[in-house]
Chain A
């Protein structure tokens, strides 16, 4: 019908994603500015510190791919951490504590999913509500105090290592592999693409859109439960405000990583790079003694820069 348009040249240009450029610039800058940055200890530190964020950002990527959002993740992480600590202190069993954290994550994920999928409440509103609920419960359960007195068996989960690799990095690598397999090799993952890309197509294929949406949010809740284990181990205690704002970092990392908020266009590896970029930024700014309030501003700026680079080249 219409003549095929020939577009030469433009196709052959190497397409380096914005997140890789941002990450390279950050590493180079901090490498020059602070001598302590490029040391094995610090690199290992950056990776370990990024693990909790990654555990949130992985499921959040899937949620965003469905054109959804989970603002409650940081608060659920906190509540799960407190549930874990209280249970461990009361029973002495790390296993029970871990189950408590997972249960909290599962319940909030299920709640979010049901409200969003079955009752059709917009994700933004739903998870803003559950954020408040989880945050309030954390403060209520602890009276605003930290939960301390955890056995060493918990702390080891963060500080230990296997074959020279820090345990949290091992856990995060497993989580990445699991999410990668889920997204790219299972029916569930295929339907995540369809939930954001063409919900009608999924419906016509005879798949329950609601059921799939609920599963996506449950996955998010469970991962927040896992992240709670790492966070509690890292602090060797639980704080009712420890995870506040983590969802901001997670969403920022995903945006930097090139996942679009429309049409189910997600990129899991980009999220990994985005998380590391946020980790590098926080770490580098810490080394330069930049206060954490200013760090948030920098993260915001990085998001815009990465999207700007992608936008310049017409990727979006």
Chain B
């Protein structure tokens, strides 16, 4: 591997101390039950540079950042500040070294106001002990908000803010700490183009003032536009550190996935599409989408893509009957549906949710219990639970999907992410579902398991099922889908037939011109 990591001056470098990084992590390992999230990762950060951290979902980026900021304690490894060994075992310790983090999941409190959120845990003391100088935290907050060009009243309670505004508050919160090391975990995911531009300008200013920035991103454009150095993680290991000037996006992607992209998964030949399984006409709904037209045929895997916030998941929820619609029609196997999820399930539809741990599985129950959950009526028509029949039905699914579990009685929580996902799919197979909606089916699953999930999708459509797949990973859409619809701002921006289905086309349709 490229272990002789390329380390050099930041290209714009005003002379900085070349030898000693501002902060360094050496040989960090961290395991969670069932997963080795980080395996002997070393990482360093220099003043005045933007250090990009890239990798697929589940590569260990977020875990590494949580170790850096003290939210997780590393199992092994050491930290160095200006070359001196230090320890970080809680968030307060990390803060001493000027480490501030902008998390992907917001660390904001809904019923406090903006200023109180920005200063949470660092309140400016008032005159009486324990009291807060409300006036000063609000004026200070205003100052920080102005700094990032975010014009908003800091007295506004946080729950009244939209996602993008919350993201800006999160950024203000990190900046107000006078951070020397600023970690950003996909900060632009929820931002508009204008806000993103502002954020980038701010990052440049911070960089010039000597702040070290660690930036996690999935967007290659950003990685090359902002990064002074790029470190690639894969499956919990550091794969390489490269300079943007000496790398191409394709090379970077290859490093991330570990093999040339087009061999991650070989598509099996697909059956000729059969009857129309799902037909959606002129669908509009109050959750922010309108005039949606799409069809999915038996034997087809159809992608539904677009940026986060483009309305993909909302459309999927409406099709499933979970959200209200205001206009249009949904037909499943020719019959109009859309009244309720119960009806959809009865008619053979299955929604495999994005968050399988909270929405798709009873984690503490056995594999067998989970598999039979959606097909209880079919399995036990009399209403009496027959353990033997349950185990038998579960075994059939376990064999069919090759779920790696020693016994059907094993708790689902002990399985790997990929196998958990298979249990969710198996649950719906057992319930005789013939139309599947997959919402981010590979999120948080390692690369090997991904290929297996794809094979499973293949398997499903070969059996005559129809699949609508939502994914943020354009590469996956390109490789697995027969066709794809691209959404933008609540509309279908376009449909891509198989021969047009490329990442570039998806991106072109998905972003605002």
Contact partner of B71 (CB less than 8 A), chosen from A2, A193, A204, A265, is: A204
Residue B421 at the chain A interface, CB threshold 8 Å: no
Contact partner of B192 (CB less than 8 A), chosen from A1, A186, A188, A202, is: A1
Residue B489 at the chain A interface, CB threshold 8 Å: yes
- Cross-chain contact A264 with B69 (CB below 8 angstroms): no
B90 partner residues in chain A, CB cutoff 8 A: 206
Residue A198 at the chain B interface, CB threshold 8 Å: yes
- Cross-chain contact B489 with A202 (CB below 8 angstroms): no
Contact partner of B121 (CB less than 8 A), chosen from A5, A181, A207, is: A207
A197 partner residues in chain B, CB cutoff 8 A: 109-112
Contact partner of A203 (CB less than 8 A), chosen from B71, B131, B164, B307, is: B71
Of residues B69, B121, B310, which shows the largest number of chain A Cβ atoms within 10 Å of its Cβ? B121
A201 partner residues in chain B, CB cutoff 8 A: 106-109, 120
- Cross-chain contact B91 with A193 (CB below 8 angstroms): no
- Cross-chain contact A264 with B489 (CB below 8 angstroms): no
Residue B132 at the chain A interface, CB threshold 8 Å: yes
Residue B92 at the chain A interface, CB threshold 8 Å: yes
Q: A1-B192, A193-B111 are in contact. Are A204 and B69 (CB under 8 A)?
A: yes
Could you mark each residue 124-141 of chain B with 1 if its beta carbon is under 8 Å from any beta carbon of chain A, else 0? 001000111010000000
Could you mark each residue 211-238 of chain A with 1 if its beta carbon is under 8 Å from any beta carbon of chain B, else 0? 0000000000000000000000000000
Contact partner of A264 (CB less than 8 A), chosen from B92, B110, B192, is: B110
- Cross-chain contact A1 with B111 (CB below 8 angstroms): no
Interchain CA distance A206-B103 in the complex, whole Å: 15
- Cross-chain contact B132 with A193 (CB below 8 angstroms): no
Please count how many residues in chain A sit with their CB below 8 Å of the partner chain's CB atoms.
27
Contact partner of B109 (CB less than 8 A), chosen from A5, A188, A193, is: A193
- Cross-chain contact B112 with A204 (CB below 8 angstroms): no
- Cross-chain contact A2 with B111 (CB below 8 angstroms): no
Contact partner of A202 (CB less than 8 A), chosen from B101, B116, B120, B190, is: B120
Contact partner of B307 (CB less than 8 A), chosen from A1, A5, A193, A265, is: A1
- Cross-chain contact A206 with B309 (CB below 8 angstroms): no
- Cross-chain contact B91 with A263 (CB below 8 angstroms): no
Within 78-106 of B, Cβ neighbours of A (below 8 Å) are at: 90-92, 95, 101, 103, 105-106
Please count how many residues in chain B sit with their CB below 8 Å of the partner chain's CB atoms.
39
| A68–chain B nearest beta-carbon distance, Å | 16
Interchain CA distance A197-B113 in the complex, whole Å: 12
| A254–chain B nearest beta-carbon distance, Å | 15
Residue B279 at the chain A interface, CB threshold 8 Å: no
Interchain CA distance A123-B107 in the complex, whole Å: 24
Interchain CA distance A198-B95 in the complex, whole Å: 20
DSSP class of B's interface residues: helix, strand, loop or mixed? Answer: loop
- Cross-chain contact B131 with A185 (CB below 8 angstroms): yes
| A80–chain B nearest beta-carbon distance, Å | 25
Q: Who on chain A is nearest to B101 by CB? A: A204
- Cross-chain contact B120 with A205 (CB below 8 angstroms): yes
Residue A200 at the chain B interface, CB threshold 8 Å: yes
A206 partner residues in chain B, CB cutoff 8 A: 90-92, 95, 121
Q: A185-B134, A204-B69 are in contact. Are A1 and B191 (CB under 8 A)?
A: yes
Interchain CA distance A204-B109 in the complex, whole Å: 12
Could you mark each residue 1-31 of chain A with 1 if its beta carbon is under 8 Å from any beta carbon of chain B, else 0? 1110100000000000000000000000000
Residue B275 at the chain A interface, CB threshold 8 Å: no
Interchain CA distance A197-B157 in the complex, whole Å: 12
A273 partner residues in chain B, CB cutoff 8 A: none
Q: Who on chain A is nearest to B125 by CB? A: A187
- Cross-chain contact B121 with A202 (CB below 8 angstroms): yes
Interchain CA distance A266-B159 in the complex, whole Å: 13
- Cross-chain contact A190 with B91 (CB below 8 angstroms): no
Within 423-443 of B, Cβ neighbours of A (below 8 Å) are at: none
Contact partner of B120 (CB less than 8 A), chosen from A5, A181, A194, is: A194
| A63–chain B nearest beta-carbon distance, Å | 15
- Cross-chain contact A2 with B489 (CB below 8 angstroms): yes
B91 partner residues in chain A, CB cutoff 8 A: 203-206
Residue B508 at the chain A interface, CB threshold 8 Å: no
A207 partner residues in chain B, CB cutoff 8 A: 121
- Cross-chain contact B309 with A2 (CB below 8 angstroms): yes
Interchain CA distance A264-B193 in the complex, whole Å: 33
Contact partner of B111 (CB less than 8 A), chosen from A203, A205, A265, is: A265
Within 163-210 of A, Cβ neighbours of B (below 8 Å) are at: 181, 185-188, 190, 193-194, 196-198, 200-207
Interchain CA distance A196-B105 in the complex, whole Å: 17
- Cross-chain contact B110 with A205 (CB below 8 angstroms): no
- Cross-chain contact A194 with B109 (CB below 8 angstroms): yes
Of residues A204, A263, A264, which shows the largest number of chain B Cβ atoms within 10 Å of its Cβ? A204
- Cross-chain contact B134 with A263 (CB below 8 angstroms): no
Of residues B69, B106, B110, B191, which shows the largest number of chain A Cβ atoms within 10 Å of its Cβ? B110
Q: Who on chain A is nearest to B286 by CB? A: A5
Residue B274 at the chain A interface, CB threshold 8 Å: no
**Given A2-B490, A193-B116, 15 other A-B residues pairs in contact with their CB atoms under 8 A:** A2-B310, A187-B123, A187-B132, A193-B111, A194-B109, A194-B112, A197-B109, A198-B108, A201-B107, A201-B108, A203-B71, A203-B91, A205-B91, A206-B92, A263-B111
Cβ-closest 8 pairs across A and B: A205-B121, A206-B92, A197-B109, A201-B107, A206-B91, A194-B109, A1-B192, A186-B130
Q: Could you give 7 example pairs across A and B, Cβ below 8 Å?
A: A1-B192, A1-B310, A185-B134, A186-B130, A198-B107, A198-B110, A204-B107
